[in-house]
Amino acid sequence: MKKKELEIASCKRNPSDFLRKRDLLPEIIDNITNSINQNSRFNHIDYEPIPSRSAVIDIIFRLRDILFPGYFNKEKIDPINLKYYLGQAITNVFDLLSVQISYSIRHECFRYNLPCGSCDE
């Protein structure tokens, strides 16, 4: 055999080896699932969402645009539209922040088995 043919032959995988290894996946998945179910302090598998890291970062950037209008945002801001720009921006931040705060309160209620009566206030 030529060198190139040897390289190609060595790169081919044996389907039975692949299937034998793949057959181990259900047991591995069961072990991981059982581990997660036994120790719930290191995961969040629940119906209630928790605050989103990316949403909080987005809120911080939006607050920066409000605090320093014209420096970081892409919109053109002038003395005439400033009030409208700020009104829209602040309303959007309020809505986004309200959702994340609600997620945080709900998470604490469920985490500590507390009655959740003020989650939507």
The predicted pLDDT at position 77 comes to: 94
The predicted pLDDT at position 66 comes to: 96
The predicted pLDDT at position 55 comes to: 97
Tokens of 8: 């190609």
- CB–CB of 110/48 below 8 Å? yes
Q: Write phi, then psi, for 93 (nearest 5 degrees).
A: -65, -40
> Which segments of the chain have a pLDDT < 50?
none
The predicted pLDDT at position 47 comes to: 66
The predicted pLDDT at position 101 comes to: 92
Predicted TM-score of the model (pTM)? 0.63
